[in-house]
Each structure stands twice: as C-alpha cells, then as structure tokens.
C-alpha cells in the first residue's frame, strides 16, 4: 500500500466476512460501544490513515481509534525504531516493584518516558510522573493525589464532562446519564457549567457559567456566602477541550476565571488531557492554548499508557500510597509512548497539525456553507469537530461517510469528531474532506 497514492475503495460494506466476524465476536462479548460493523484486518495492508477490512475494502480512518492512534496505522516513525530491538517476553512486568532496562539497547523504557513527559510539561514546573494502564487510571490517581495533598472532602467537575468508566472517574462524569446510572459514586462532587462558546467573554456569555456580576463557580466558593467551603475542596477537574461531551472548546474568559479561582483559593487544577493531549491540538497539551496553569495532568490514549503528571510536592511521599502491578511495566507500550513523543518532535508534527487542521476547517466551511444541517466547524490542530442541527443528521453523515470509505465517530449529541493522524499530508486532508463533504450532501 503506497500512502502517497492509495484511496478508499469499498464494495458493499459491511461485507459477508465482516458480518460473520461481528457475529462471532458477540457470542461472548459484553455489550459495549460498537460504532460500525467494520472489522480491521491487521494482517492486510495499512498505512497512515488507510486500512483494510476483512472483505478487502480499503478505508480512510479519521476516528484515530478515539485519539489512541496519533500517528495512524503502521507508521514507520514508530515501527522502524522498534524494529532495531530484539523484543523479549515478558514485555509486561511488575513495573512498580521491579526495574528493567536493556544495557546494550537503546530501547526507551519507563524512566525514559517519564523523563520525556516532564520535559514537555516543564513549563508547568512538573517533575514527577506515575504511570498506569489507562486514562481512567490516570484520572483516578490524579484525584487521589489531590485528595492526599489538600485533605479536603470536595471535588468540582463540569457539565458535559467525561473522565472515564472506573467508579471514581464515573463520579466526575456529567455527560450521558447511562454512564453513571445505578453505580455508586464518590461523595461530595459538585459541578458547574462548562463554557461552550469559544468566542464569549464575561459580558456576552450565555452558557450559564458567567452571570451579571460574577460566575457560578465564584459564587459557589465565596468564603462568606457560597455553599462550598473552598478550604475543603481538594481539586477542580476539567477537560481543557471536552471530548465525549461534544468537542466543546471553551473561551479564554472561562479558562481565566478557572485559573484565578484555583489560585485565589489554592485549589489544585487537574486537567484531563487523555484525548486532547500529546500534540493533538498543535501544542503538547490543550491547556497550552489557554490562560491556565494546571497542577496535575492526566494523559493516556496516544501515549499508549496512562500517566499522572504533577510536581513532587503534590504527590504523596509515603511508600505504597500509590502503586500498580503493571502500571509502569509494559515495556513495549512505554517504548511506543517515548518514540511517539520523539517522532512528534523530530518531524515537527505540532506545526503540521496546526496547518492541516486549518486547511480542513477552511475547506469544510466553504464547501458546506449551502447545507443548513451543518451548524459549526471548529477545532484546534487536528482535534476537530463538525456540529449538525440534529442527532439524526449527524448519524446520517457518519453512515454516508462510512459507505464512501471514511470512518468518523460521533460525540455529544450532534457532533462528529475528526481525528486524522498528526502527520497527515495535504493530499490526505483534501481527500478526507471531499468524502465528508459528499456525505454531508447525501445526508442533506
């Protein structure tokens, strides 16, 4: 498969073999979130955003495996360095209890990954990392160290938030109610509106966060008149850009208010960068776009492992307060995470994400101006969202794009998220945009 010339080619999707594999999978699989009857054949050709299904259909994947595939399929920027090493078994060790390194090898390990993470987070004075398996675990440990650091009983989250599916992370979610229904929750979690107008200020805001003379959060935390004692708040957690909640990009005014309240009351600000971080927006962290200085970062997905990043004074210094048998011990995943950071730096992929994202937004806005079903095209870098005027139209566009060989995925109620590889070429952005424009026309 030649990345410079390949194009999607589908002939009846899903095909017979895909339907058979889906039926086989569901013989023993618990119900979960399955968007398509699309079965990737990982033995067939795949490169960058292009992949092949079990029926031989070639598709263009703009789901990015929900942000977990920052450089696409079979990217030589990752595979070529890995090919130099003789991988061993086990590649997954008890990494919080044992150390491992190859003294004759340059294969990056857990220590190398943590070193890289503190380097790209150094502007926030972060110098300490705890590695885990997933984004939910990264969030769990972020709030754990905040509870330990502040010793308060309250946490504050935001409407539309999604932070994971473990019980602690679920307690912070304020998106679809199905995520939390009937599950026990961490107590004393308060919430506030999340800004969904990226252009607003305190005077023009109509999202419910700002009021005539203050903000909901400032009133909540007011020492004399508020209903939450700020001295008992252990953390304030938010996604700098909401993912599952609908690719909602807040205003600078909203973020400045969050930052000021965190500073005023000495409340740690935890940012969930599981989907938005690691270069996706054209900066290492989505927080870098805003007037905010986080105290704790939770990362995963494109990093291949979970990571909780902060300052040493925020982490507990008591042994065994934090631990995870496998957290720092996936030799292959930590190597992939370190090599991903290296590739983003070596190939200037932050700048590439900014340029390609700008092209997509300009091209799609111009091409869909006549279609009333498209309400907004927004994004930073290659974290992009297209909002439609109804859920039905959103679903129709996702299906029409699928039939044309373009994989996309919804979020929120009416938004399609677009997550191309960070090293996407101009040709690939143009090709994918053309397919999406055609799908919009079909749905219209």
Is 118 a member of any domain? yes
Q: What is the pTM of this model?
A: 0.95
pLDDT in tens, 148-157: 999 999 999 9
Spatial contact of 66 and 301, defined as CB atoms under 8 Å apart: yes
- Give the domain-ending residue among 304, 330, 346: 346
Whether 363 and 234 share a structural domain: no
pLDDT at 103 over 80: no
- Collapse the DSSP code of 170 into the 3-class scheme (helix H, G, I; strand E, B; otherwise coil) and give the result: helix
pLDDT at 87 over 80: no
Q: What is the mean pLDDT of the chain?
A: 94
Which DSSP string corresponds to 247-264? -B---HHHHHHHHHHHHH
pLDDT at 28 over 90: no
Q: Supply the pLDDT for residue 257.
A: 97
Whether 353 and 342 share a structural domain: no
- CB count within 10 Å of CB 213 equals 8
Whether 332 and 365 share a structural domain: no
Whether 365 and 335 share a structural domain: no
- Measured CA to CA, the distance from residue 82 to residue 79 in angstroms comes to 5
High-pLDDT (> 90) share of the chain, %: 86
Whether 367 and 280 share a structural domain: no
Tally of domains in the chain: 2
Q: Supply the pLDDT for residue 13.
A: 94
Looking at residues 33-49, what average pLDDT do you find? 92
CATH number reported for the structural domain that contains residue 65 in this entry: 3.90.1150.10
pLDDT at 100 over 90: no
- Give the domain-ending residue among 325, 346, 367: 346
pLDDT at 216 over 80: yes
Whether 339 and 318 share a structural domain: yes
Measure CA 361 to chain center. 20
- CB count within 10 Å of CB 146 equals 25
Q: Supply the pLDDT for residue 93.
A: 80
- For 220, the token pair is 């909540």
Whether 340 and 379 share a structural domain: no
Looking at residues 282-299, what average pLDDT do you find? 98
Q: What count of Cα atoms within 13 Å lies in the side-chain half-sphere of residue 143?
A: 27
Whether 358 and 293 share a structural domain: no
Whether 306 and 370 share a structural domain: no
Whether 416 and 320 share a structural domain: no
Looking at residues 248-255, what average pLDDT do you find? 97
Between 196 and 256, the more confident residue is: 256
Is 332 a member of any domain? yes
Band of pLDDT at residue 281, cut at 50, 70 and 90: very high
Whether 389 and 304 share a structural domain: no
Band of pLDDT at residue 183, cut at 50, 70 and 90: very high
Whether 238 and 360 share a structural domain: no
Give residue 399's domain range: 16-75+349-443
Looking at residues 95-124, what average pLDDT do you find? 87
- Give the domain-ending residue among 328, 346, 364: 346
């Amino acid at each position: 498969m030649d990345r410079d010339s390949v194009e999607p080619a589908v002939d009846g999707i899903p095909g017979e073999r895909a339907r058979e594999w889906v039926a086989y999978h569901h013989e023993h699989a618990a119900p979960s979130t399955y968007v398509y009857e699309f079965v990737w054949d990982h033995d067939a050709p795949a490169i960058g955003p292009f992949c092949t299904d079990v029926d031989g259909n070639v598709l263009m994947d703009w789901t990015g495996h929900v942000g977990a595939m920052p450089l696409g399929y079979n990217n030589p920027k990752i595979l070529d360095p890995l090919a130099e090493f003789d991988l061993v078994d086990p590649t997954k060790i008890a990494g919080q209890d044992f150390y491992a390194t190859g003294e004759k090898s340059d294969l990056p390990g857990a220590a190398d990954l943590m070193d890289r993470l503190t380097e790209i987070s150094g502007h926030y004075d972060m110098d300490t990392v705890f590695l885990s398996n997933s984004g939910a675990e990264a969030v769990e440990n972020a709030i754990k160290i905040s509870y330990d650091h502040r010793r308060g009983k309250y946490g504050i989250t935001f409407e539309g938030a999604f932070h994971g599916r473990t019980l602690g992370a679920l307690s912070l979610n304020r998106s679809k109610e199905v995520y939390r229904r009937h599950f026990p929750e961490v107590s004393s979690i308060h919430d506030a509106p999340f800004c969904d107008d990226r252009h607003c200020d305190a005077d023009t805001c109509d999202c419910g966060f700002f009021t005539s003379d203050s903000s909901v959060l400032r009133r909540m935390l007011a020492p004399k008149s508020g209903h939450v004692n700020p001295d008992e708040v252990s953390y304030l957690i938010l996604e700098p850009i909401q993912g599952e909640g609908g690719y909602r990009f807040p205003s600078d005014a909203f973020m400045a208010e969050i930052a000021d309240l965190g500073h005023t009351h000495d409340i740690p600000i935890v940012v969930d960068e599981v989907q938005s971080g690691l270069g996706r927006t054209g900066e290492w962290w989505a927080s870098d776009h805003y007037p905010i200085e986080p105290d704790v970062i939770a990362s995963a997905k494109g990093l291949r492992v979970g990571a909780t990043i902060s300052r040493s004074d925020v982490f507990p210094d008591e042994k065994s307060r934090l631990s995870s048998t496998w957290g720092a011990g996936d030799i292959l995943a930590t190597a992939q995470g370190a090599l991903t950071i290296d590739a983003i730096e070596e190939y200037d992929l932050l700048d590439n994400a900014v340029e390609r994202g700008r092209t997509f937004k300009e091209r799609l806005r111009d091409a869909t101006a006549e279609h009333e079903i498209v309400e907004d095209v927004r994004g930073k870098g290659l974290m992009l969202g297209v909002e439609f005027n109804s859920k039905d139209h959103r679903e129709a566009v996702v299906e029409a794009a699928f039939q044309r060989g373009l994989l996309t995925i919804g979020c929120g109620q009416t938004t399609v998220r677009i997550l191309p590889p960070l090293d996407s070429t101009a040709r690939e952005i143009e090709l994918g945009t053309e397919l999406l424009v055609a799908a919009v026309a079909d749905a219209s």
